[in-house]
Amino acid sequence: MVISFKQIEEKLKTEAKRLLGESQVSIVLAYGKGYDENHPMPYVARNPSDVDNIVFNEYCNYNLARYLVRYPAGTKIAVAVKAADSRAVIQLIQEEKVKREDLVLLGIPVYGMKNPKTHEIIDGKTTGGLYNPVLYDILLGDEVHGQAIQSPYDVLAAYESMDKEARFAFWKKEFDKCIRCYACRKACPMCYCDPCFIDQTKPKWGDKSPQSHGNLMYHLTRFHHLAGRCIDCGECSRACPVDIPLYLFHKKVAKACEEMFGQAAGMSIEDKPALVNFRVDDSDKFLE
Amino acid sequence: MSFEPKILGIACNWCTYTGADLAGTTRLQYPQNLRVVRVMCSSRINPSFIFRAFQLGADGVLVGGCHPGDCHYNTGNLYARRRLAVTKKILEFSGLESGRFRVEWISASEGNKFAEVVTEFTEQIKKLGPQIKFKISQ
Amino acid sequence: MSRIGVFVCHCGLNIAKTVRVSELAEFAATLPDVVVAKDYKFMCSTPGQEMIVNDIKQHKLDRIIVTACSPLMHEQTFRKVLTASGLNQYLLTIVNIREQVSWVTHDIEEGTAKAKALLNGAVYRARLLAPLTSRVIDVNPNVMVVGGGIAGIQAALELANTGKKVYLIEKNSTIGGHMAQFDKTFPTLDCSACILTPKMDSVLQHKNITMMTSCEVSEVKGFVGNFDITIRQKARYVDHSKCNACLSCTEKCPGKGTSEWDESLVKRKAIYIPFPQAVPQKPIIDKESCTFFKKGKCRLCEKACEQKAIDFEQQDTFVQVKVGAVILATGFDLMDTKPLVQYGYGKYPGVYNALEVERLFNSAGPTGGKVTLRDGSEPKSIAILHCIGSRDKNNHEHCSRVCCMYSLKFSHLFKEKTSADVYHFYIDMRAAGKGYEEFYNRIIEEDVKFIRGKGARVTQSADEPGRLVVEAEDTITGKFIKLPVDMVVLSSAIVPRADARDIARLFNLSTDKQGFFMERHPKLAPLSTMSEGIFIAGACQSPKDIPDTVAQAYGAAAEALTIVVKDKMELEATTAMVNPASCCGCQNCVRVCPYGAPSYNAEKRVSEINEALCKGCGLCASVCPSSAIIARHFTNDQVLAEMEGLMEF
């Protein structure tokens, strides 16, 4: 089966027009034209007439769940969600940042999405191994069956084969590149803190200039803050201007969390975020 | 001169810190490489404290709390168990020797366990040698 | 810029022996913001404290560091010194160079180096300390005493006599505890009932005591001064408000249960009072042995009751009680010696445990005070085996403290009531206590035989069916002996109550290695616990005899009184607060707090902390991703600064 991006775009437009026209929602979060085909932009449609500006193609990677927390509580929002994006919405519902009843989820079943920089297909790398949204109100098309993925963690194989010295060298090289533009946290749907811990002056957790130790502090702490919450959309890595493969670390932590706590982030609105939760019979082996 | 590691300890007030006091009261001997910060509960430990300790040059970090189920604040250490487990994984994934970070449940009556853990951990850190990966060079 | 004073204590030679204290003071003087640094022999003494007071005035100090013993020891002492000098008490930092330095090393180089590092950390931390204001709360004037044995009874009476209202909670249907099971008490041999039952009656009559039998604590909320405790009143199936204690119900009852009070040696009715002097004198129905509950027919007790007090429909109920302080006097259990198969308890009818023997001596007991074996015959020879399960690293390492003395008491009573030969098998005789050694000497005169050697095994005699053989090594002669006897008494270990850990969890107490409740300090605070406002008395803390138990009960009553005698009290100011400017509204704090202190203000989209509920654990601060929560006295900056100081040296 070949995905028709045009078909999805049409369905998205139709639903957006209807929802806005019937005043079911006050905004629709979707994608619009960017400066070229490869760079579509997040787009906010407020009137039925805006809907014509909506586009959808294989470069529409942005996780639009990122923008939900910007609107005042109670705003009725329709949002276009791919598989990982829908998990971000679930996670935000768990964290009570958004309410389920305020949202209309326009689910996009899709595979073959591409990285606009490298044009490589991101399937299996940063989609959590899923192609269909976990949660939606309206599915824009039929469920799809992309290239089968054994586990979302398969892509970790090369990294996991490194010994600790190689791992350290790998991440040192990557973190040293960081210019502290914070595009990763801007792109991340779960990074909604304002201010971010690293911007605090009291305490000053780490250096704010792009020095290796400040970078390390920022990234390691951010990995912890996202542990059990990262839904593997990979937006952080694609947003990174110096191409730090942050998704690898996040994925590795997500894998550990799933193994230890028996739950993956953003899979059920009934779950409680794993790191602000416990089970009495959690194993002490976690600490070994 | 042989390598004398610097080990940071973070101990909860009610169990491990009191257990450490008991080790003293009963005159148990253990290596002097450990410097303890007292907090009220092991759940107070922010993951960044651990990252920061290694940046400050700690060769090892030892966290001590009440046994699960015996927390003075009922459930504090049950949260701590998860949060510190993830902290440990992150250190490991970043390439730091995972043996440099240890969490132990030591009750107020376990002075001997405190002394044993400190002795054993100090030996382990000595074997691992100086921690230079995270340490901020002057 | 702060002005720090550092005061290094020698603690005699306790610290000075393995830390060069004057060098430490000189070192302190070189650290940032340290204005004055001194060392002195005993900083906690009056001259030591005065030195601090004077230096605060003379040098205008605004931070004090006392480098001495553990903060758990003298933090309060030195806080008072600061308060007396007009400084906020939270500007004090204690550096623990005794328990955690000088006592754990013999090497003065190592000790001094570590002390310097700890002191440096303290200076870094002290510079960031902020004055804090203690919260003042209203104190509930009532006290709860849990456990109606001699400790609980004594504590309740003391408190009630001061005019305070006391709730006495007892899980059994009568108060009295183990002491009510005894016949005589050592070393005076006065009758246990004669000294106890008047006290039990006083409890019943006292206008300030609410006695709650067949009750258990099910939930504890709140904190010192304001505990909110839920009590489960177990169904008695008899309405005690109607019952006039005529006990005609018990006469008619055909049911047969095993008498817990008589250590299962005899049967009792299904509707019963445990013993004739029980308080209250009102019966309960044991569901397990009641014919009606088992077969759905009977109700003879109901017919016998003129007061219409029998209520088969009764359910457990829950009662809320508010108190300012709690005394736990939950007592002990006797170790179950069945697992020690070498002694044959539970297998050979001639082997008894100590509590069973207490009941045999008691005139209200199963045999009316006659010492007879289970077959009704009088034993001709009796062996008393000391230290069964205690002083035994395979079982309980601790000495149960009272066994030597009650074993001696047993031998006296055996001699008085039978013509049997009595043998003691003991490791060594522990008779420390007023009149105890004298009692021991008296028993020696009574033709009792002492064999110094722990009983190793009890077997059945091959030659004489029904008789037992005690095997032991007599460590004086070095000979292995086999002694045939008719009766064996096991002086088994005194162990914590089976539910001691559950009780400890309810009240947030620690337990020691053996499982007894742990005191705040073994010498200086033996009756208080790590939980403010919760006190302990009697054998729940460790095995002890009646005089010590009663002394502790008085002490615990006085401790509880120090809290409830005041209308108001100060609470620790080390609570958490939210800086709303940094709060991202993630509500992690709301999710994790065990006390429900944080709540989310949806309008302002920030969390807020109710300080009255906060206990200062700091969990919320560590789960706050944007560092918006300030855990007072353990703030992120303070901890980070201390760590930095510690790692510098």
Tens digits of residue pLDDT in C539-574: 999 999 999 999 999 999 999 999 999 999 988 899
Contact partners for chain A, using 3 or more CB pairs closer than 8 A, are B, C
The closest CB to that of C100, out of B24, B69, B79, belongs to B24
The order of strands in the sheet holding C92-96 is C34-40, C4-9, C63-68, C92-96
Residue C235 lies in a domain: no
Residue A121 lies in a domain: yes
Tokens representing A78 are 């329709």
Q: Are residues A161 and A263 in the same domain?
A: yes
**Dist. CA C186–CA A145, nearest whole Å:** 85
Q: What is the model's pLDDT at position A238?
A: 94
Residue C40 lies in a domain: yes
Q: What is the model's pLDDT at position C39?
A: 97
Contacts of A138 (CB under 8 A, 6+ apart): A15, A104, A105, A106, A107
- pLDDT tens, position by position, A13-48: 999 999 999 999 999 999 999 999 889 999 999 999
Residue A207 lies in a domain: yes
DSSP annotation of C131: -
Tokens representing A263 are 């739950």
Q: What is the model's pLDDT at position A123?
A: 84
Contacts of C646 in chain B (CB under 8 A): 8, 35, 37
Q: Are residues C466 and C363 in the same domain?
A: yes
Q: Above 80 in pLDDT, residue C582? A: yes
> How many residue pairs from chains A and C have C-beta atoms closer than 8 A?
44
Contact status, residue C98 vs residue C11, Cβ threshold 8 Å: yes
Contacts of A95 in chain C (CB under 8 A): 586-587
Closest of A259, C381, A206 to residue B48, by C-alpha: A206
Q: Above 80 in pLDDT, residue A2? A: no
Question: What's the CA dihedral at C240, C243, C249, C255 to 10 degrees?
Answer: 0
> What is the DSSP secondary-structure string of A120-154?
-B-TTTSSTT-SS-SS-SEESS-----S--S-TTG
User: Is the N-terminal amide bond of A195 cis, ω within 30° of 0?
Assistant: yes
- Split at pLDDT 50, 70, 90, the class of B66 is very high
Q: Which one of A217, A251, A252, A278 makes the best mutation probe of the B interface by having the most chain B beta carbons within 10 Å?
A: A278
Contact status, residue A212 vs residue A172, Cβ threshold 8 Å: yes
Q: What is the model's pLDDT at position B1?
A: 62
Contacts of C30 (CB under 8 A, 6+ apart): none
Closest of C618, C135, C9 to residue B38, by C-alpha: C618
CB-based contact, B2 to chain C, within 8 Å: no
The stretch A232-255 carries a mean pLDDT of 96
The stretch C244-272 carries a mean pLDDT of 93
Q: Is A170 exposed, middle or buried (0-12, 13-18, 19+ CB in 10 A)?
A: middle
For residue C232, the surrounding DSSP H or E stretch is: strand C226-233
Q: Are residues C296 and C411 in the same domain?
A: no
Question: CA neighbours within 13 Å on the CB side: how many for C310?
Answer: 25
Contacts of B91 in chain A (CB under 8 A): 220
Q: Is C577 exposed, middle or buried (0-12, 13-18, 19+ CB in 10 A)?
A: middle
Q: What is the model's pLDDT at position A1?
A: 64
Residue C268 lies in a domain: yes
- Split at pLDDT 50, 70, 90, the class of C522 is confident
- Residue C511 to residue B46, Cβ atoms within 8 A: no
Q: Above 80 in pLDDT, residue C585? A: yes
**Dist. CA C524–CA A206, nearest whole Å:** 44
Contacts of B68 in chain A (CB under 8 A): 280, 282, 284
- Residue A97 to residue C582, Cβ atoms within 8 A: no
Q: Above 90 in pLDDT, residue B31? A: yes
Q: What is the model's pLDDT at position C278?
A: 94
Q: Are residues C524 and C465 in the same domain?
A: no
**Dist. CA C630–CA C576, nearest whole Å:** 5
CATH of the domain at C596: 3.30.70.20
Q: Which one of B12, B21, B36, B56 makes the best mutation probe of the C interface by having the most chain C beta carbons within 10 Å?
A: B21
In chain A, how many domains are there?
2
E strand segments, C537-621: 568-571, 576-578, 598-601, 606-609
Q: What is the model's pLDDT at position C571?
A: 82
Q: Are residues C400 and C458 in the same domain?
A: yes
Q: Are residues A82 and A171 in the same domain?
A: no
Q: Are residues C358 and C412 in the same domain?
A: yes
- pLDDT tens, position by position, C430-448: 999 999 999 999 999 999 9
User: Is the N-terminal amide bond of C484 cis, ω within 30° of 0?
Assistant: no
E strand segments, chain B: 7-12, 34-39, 60-65, 101-105
Closest of C65, C180, C172, C190 to residue C119, by C-alpha: C65
Which of A84, A116, A139 marks a domain boundary?
A139
Residue C74 lies in a domain: yes
Q: Are residues A182 and A243 in the same domain?
A: yes
Q: What is the model's pLDDT at position C21?
A: 97
Q: How far apart are the first and last CA of chain B?
A: 22
3-class state of residue C234 by DSSP = coil
Q: Are residues C584 and C460 in the same domain?
A: no
pTM for the structure as a whole: 0.81
In chain C, how many domains are there?
5
Q: Above 90 in pLDDT, residue A124? A: no
**Dist. CA C278–CA C259, nearest whole Å:** 14
Residue A12 lies in a domain: yes
Q: Which one of B70, B78, B86, B135 makes the best mutation probe of the A interface by having the most chain A beta carbons within 10 Å?
A: B86
CA angle, residues C393, C394, C396, in degrees to nearest 5: 60
Q: What is the model's pLDDT at position C135?
A: 82
Q: Are residues C173 and C300 in the same domain?
A: no
Q: Delimit the domains of chain B by residue range.
A: 7-128
Q: Are residues C368 and C298 in the same domain?
A: no
Contact status, residue A106 vs residue A137, Cβ threshold 8 Å: yes
The closest CB to that of A168, out of B81, B89, B133, belongs to B133
Q: Which one of C223, C614, C619 makes the best mutation probe of the B interface by having the most chain B beta carbons within 10 Å?
A: C619
Q: Are residues C408 and C427 in the same domain?
A: yes
- Split at pLDDT 50, 70, 90, the class of B138 is low
For residue C451, the surrounding DSSP H or E stretch is: strand C449-452
Which of C564, C586, C613 marks a domain boundary?
C564
Q: Spell out the long-range contacts of C198-207 with Cβ–Cβ below 8 A and sequence spacing 24 or more.
A: C199/C150, C199/C153, C199/C154, C199/C157, C200/C153, C200/C175, C200/C176, C200/C277, C200/C279, C201/C279, C202/C157, C203/C148, C203/C153, C203/C156, C203/C157, C203/C168, C203/C175, C203/C279, C204/C279, C204/C280, C206/C156, C206/C157, C206/C160
Was domain B7-128 assigned CATH 3.40.50.960?
yes
- Residue C586 to residue A272, Cβ atoms within 8 A: no
Phi and psi angles of residue B112, each rounded to the nearest 5 degrees, phi first: -70, -35
Q: Are residues A11 and A133 in the same domain?
A: yes
Containing domain of residue C209, as a range? 143-230+316-331+497-564
CATH of the domain at C522: 3.50.50.60
**Dist. CA C374–CA A22, nearest whole Å:** 91
The closest CB to that of A276, out of C582, C592, C635, belongs to C592
Residue C175 lies in a domain: yes
Q: Are residues C56 and C203 in the same domain?
A: no
Q: Above 70 in pLDDT, residue A101? A: yes
Q: What is the model's pLDDT at position C449?
A: 96
Q: Which residue of B has its CA nearest to C530?
A: B14
Rg of the Cα atoms in chain B: 14
Between strands B60-65 and B101-105, the pairing is: parallel
Contact status, residue C454 vs residue C426, Cβ threshold 8 Å: yes
The closest CB to that of B78, out of A205, A206, A278, belongs to A278
Which of A89, A108, A139 marks a domain boundary?
A139
Residue C547 lies in a domain: yes
> Which residue stretches of C162-191 are H helix?
none
Residue C442 lies in a domain: yes
Residue C648 lies in a domain: no
- Split at pLDDT 50, 70, 90, the class of C397 is very high
CB-based contact, B90 to chain C, within 8 Å: no
**Dist. CA C494–CA C32, nearest whole Å:** 56
C607 bridge partner residues: C600
Q: What is the model's pLDDT at position C531?
A: 87
Q: Are residues C56 and C11 in the same domain?
A: yes
Q: What is the model's pLDDT at position A152?
A: 86
- Residue B21 to residue C618, Cβ atoms within 8 A: no
Q: Are residues C157 and C179 in the same domain?
A: yes
- pLDDT tens, position by position, C627-645: 999 999 999 999 999 999 9
Phi and psi angles of residue C368, each rounded to the nearest 5 degrees, phi first: 65, 25
The stretch C455-481 carries a mean pLDDT of 94
Containing domain of residue A168, as a range? 154-279
Q: What is the model's pLDDT at position C596?
A: 86
Which of A98, A114, A139 marks a domain boundary?
A139
Tokens representing C59 are 């040098």
- Split at pLDDT 50, 70, 90, the class of A146 is confident
Q: Above 80 in pLDDT, residue C497? A: yes
Chain B (16-75) residues lying within 8 Å, Cβ to Cβ, of chain A? 47-48, 51-52, 55, 68-69, 75
Phi and psi angles of residue A204, each rounded to the nearest 5 degrees, phi first: -95, 105
E strand segments, chain A: 27-32, 41-45, 77-81, 103-107, 138-139
Q: How far apart are the first and last CA of chain C?
A: 23
The stretch C118-144 carries a mean pLDDT of 95
**Dist. CA C538–CA C522, nearest whole Å:** 14
